Homo-oligomer: A and B are copies of this chain.
Amino acid sequence: MSEPKDLSADLVFQVFNEIGIIDSLANTELTRHIAPNLNTSEFAVLNHLARLGGGKTPSWLAKAFQMTRPSMTAIVSKLSAKGYVRVEAGEKDRREKFVWITDAGLDARRDALQRLKPRLEQVIADFGAERLRALLPLAMAFRAYLDEERNERDGLA
């Protein structure tokens, strides 16, 4: 070994590299299955509203998805244009808006879940639920660490 390789840097790089590729593959794959007129971000928001209830502000949603506010504005606009969410102006604080999923949105979300289900089950069957269950807490912890770091850096802590 002529050059003293920095193995620790390599480790982090490799992790980021694998994760980047997984993200890209997963996104393409999920987009293919979700529905012709919904992308993964739109579905994620729809799913969130269906599961946890509506009445969230775009800003709140942006934070929940670690996304910038402009990005969320775009997603909500598209969902609204499709009639899948309804946006309500704030009364108490007139800067705010509140987002609610519509019946059409619930239908679209149910439909997307239906389409997705076999594919997700296949992933679990082929790759294995144990490995996914092992991966999840590590990924969550790493995400939490990076997120915390970012908040500190941005002085949001």
Chain A residues near B (Cβ < 8 Å): 6, 8-9, 11-30, 44, 47, 65-66, 113, 116-117, 120-121, 123-124, 126-127, 129, 131-136, 138-143, 145-147, 149-150
- The one of B6, B27, B132 that contacts A15, using a Cβ cutoff of 8 Å: B132
Taking A11-B132, A12-B120, A20-B26 as given, write out 19 further A-B residue pairs in contact, using a Cβ cutoff of 8 Å, ordered by the A residue number.
Answer: A6-B117, A9-B116, A9-B121, A11-B129, A13-B120, A15-B132, A15-B139, A19-B19, A22-B23, A22-B142, A25-B147, A26-B146, A28-B150, A29-B149, A123-B145, A126-B149, A127-B141, A131-B141, A135-B135
Tell me the interface secondary structure of chain A in the complex.
helix
Nearest to A26 among chain B residues (CB) is B16
- The one of B11, B20, B116 that contacts A23, using a Cβ cutoff of 8 Å: B20
Query: What residues of B have a CB within 8 angstroms of the CB of A20 in the complex?
Result: 23, 26-27
Query: What number of copies of this chain does the assembly contain?
Result: 2
Query: What residues of B have a CB within 8 angstroms of the CB of A141 in the complex?
Result: 127, 131
User: What's the Cα separation between A123 and B149 when bound, in Å?
Assistant: 10
Query: What residues of B have a CB within 8 angstroms of the CB of A65 in the complex?
Result: 21
- The one of B15, B23, B116, B126 that contacts A135, using a Cβ cutoff of 8 Å: B15
Query: What residues of B have a CB within 8 angstroms of the CB of A113 in the complex?
Result: 6, 9
A145/B116 contact (C-beta < 8 A), A15-B136, A22-B19, A135-B15 known = no
Nearest to A65 among chain B residues (CB) is B21
